Amino acid sequence: MKWLGAVFKWVWAAIKRLGAAGLPQAWLAPLGASVAAVALLHVPADSTTLVDLKKPSELLLLSIGLGVVAWFIATLLYVPLAGPKRANFRSYSLLRNRVEGLLARRDVVCKAHRDRGAIICEDVLASLKAVDQCLGSGSGIWVQGGGYIAAWEAVHRAEELLMEVEEKDALLEDAEHDILRLTDSKIPHKDELLKLIQEAKAFLCRGKQKDSCVSSIEAARNVLREVRYNVNVFRDSTWNGLVTLRNQIMAALLVIQLTTLALLALAILMEADVKNVSAAALYYLVGALFGVFNRLYAESQADTAVDDYGLATARLLTLPAVAGLAGLGGVLFVSLVANDAKTADLASHFEFQQHPLQLLVAAAFGVTPGVLVKNLATKAQTYQSDIKSTEPTDGGTEPRKG
């Protein structure tokens, strides 16, 4: 029966891997269904098909089925990228290097002090081994970015514990490193933290100082660990803010695509004229294109020195959906407020051959969601700026000991 348990375990792991890969692609299902519905509306009435496309309900069911198939195919293609190594290779590589570096550092420190800090050394080893095992798993937490943040937090706690058994030279190196990170940073209470770390550094360099709260090597360790903890928490919280914002935008994209599909389904069920549906789709497309073009330059100028865990990509994916609805809504709004627009002939305004200027209306309104995306970009840049302010150099985002 062992083979049965192994098969069940493998199947369950495959299901979790599919779920992890399918969640970020879920917005493709309503998008694919919408595209399929518009395309099926143009199939000639006398064509031989498996379903009766003259019936709106059957047409919608077929469209939804095609959308689900498109989503499933995209999920299968995305499965190889759902693991920790490929979901964010840069963060994965930095984590691997940090874990290996801390393990080597732990071996050196703990071998020199077998009589002191044995429990701390074991805790550090257990924590780093757990992170190393997680990096070899295929859990869905990596796709959404939360796995990397949790891994960094575990690494940082191990790093802080290791400071409890380090000698003066290593502690001085830690102090210098954190002074560079605190200087010009946006960490709360950075002035107080800098004062504490300067006192610890002064004790380590010249011994007990007058009027200083740091009067022993143990006190210096505690101060440096507290400072490092505050720096790490600030950075981890900021990284988590980027990941949370990205996941919220992806959830909003799914809702927007579902809303678009619902509006299209309502039009089909009400047996709207195919020409009007086609015109609405054209207005949607024009709004989406102009919305994207309006933001491409701004996105190309964005600061990419800090990894945003796919936040910029999420913004770009969401913009066409929002801009398309804005373009379509703009045409409806202008049609309603026009002098000759009456509810009875509202459908006539979706005949763009007779009203070609409606394309300009769709383009103009498609640009307006750029303000919303700009606000999201500003918030993201704030997070990135906060992270960069704690960098000791202009190099990588995760230096060897910080």
- One domain, residues 95 and 236: yes
- Strand, coil or helix: what is 61? helix
Same domain flag for 76 and 96: no
- pLDDT per residue rounded down to tens, the chain (402 residues): 567 777 777 777 777 778 778 888 899 999 999 999 999 888 776 665 566 667 888 889 999 999 999 999 998 888 887 778 888 888 889 899 999 999 988 888 888 766 667 888 888 888 898 888 888 766 667 888 888 888 899 999 999 988 888 888 888 888 988 998 898 888 988 899 998 888 888 888 876 555 556 778 888 888 899 999 999 999 999 889 888 889 889 999 999 999 999 999 998 888 888 888 888 898 899 999 988 887 776 666 555 556 788 888 888 889 899 999 999 888 888 877 765 555 545 566 666 666 677 888 888 888 887 777 777 777 888 888 888 888 775 433 343 344
Tell whether 389 is covered by a domain. Answer: no
Give the model's pLDDT for residue 260. Answer: 93
281: phi then psi, degrees, rounded to nearest 5: -65, -40
Question: Which of 177, 126, 182 has the alpha carbon at shortest distance from 155?
Answer: 126
In a domain, 98, yes or no: yes
- 253 within domain boundaries: no
Residue 18 in any domain: the answer is yes
Output the pLDDT for position 139.
61
Question: What's residue 393's pLDDT?
Answer: 56
Q: Is residue 107 domain-shared with residue 220, that is, in the same domain?
A: yes
pTM for this entry = 0.81
Same domain? For 103 and 9 the reply is no
The pLDDT, as a whole number, for residue 43 is: 79
Does residue 334 lie within any of the structural domains? Answer: yes
Rg of the chain taking only CA atoms, in angstroms? 29
* 190 belongs to a structural domain: yes
Cβ–Cβ under 8 Å, residues 175 and 200: yes
92 and 161 inside one domain: yes
Give the Cβ contact number of residue 143 at 10 Å.
Answer: 27
Rounded CA separation 402/397 (Å): 9
Are 343 and 362 part of one and the same domain?
Answer: yes
In a shared domain, residues 278 and 354: yes
Q: Can you read off the two tokens belonging to residue 287? A: 């709004």
224 lies in the same domain as 123: yes
Lookup: tokens for 238: 């900021």
Instruction: Specify whether 277 is located in the same domain as 347.
Output: yes
pLDDT for 110 equals 82
10 CA to centre of own chain: 28
Number of domains observed in the structure of the chain: 3
**Residue 28: domain span:** 1-82
Check whether residue 94 and residue 232 sit in a common domain: yes
212-244 as b/e: b if 16+ CB within 10 A: eebeeeebbbbbbbbbbebbbebbbebbbbbbb
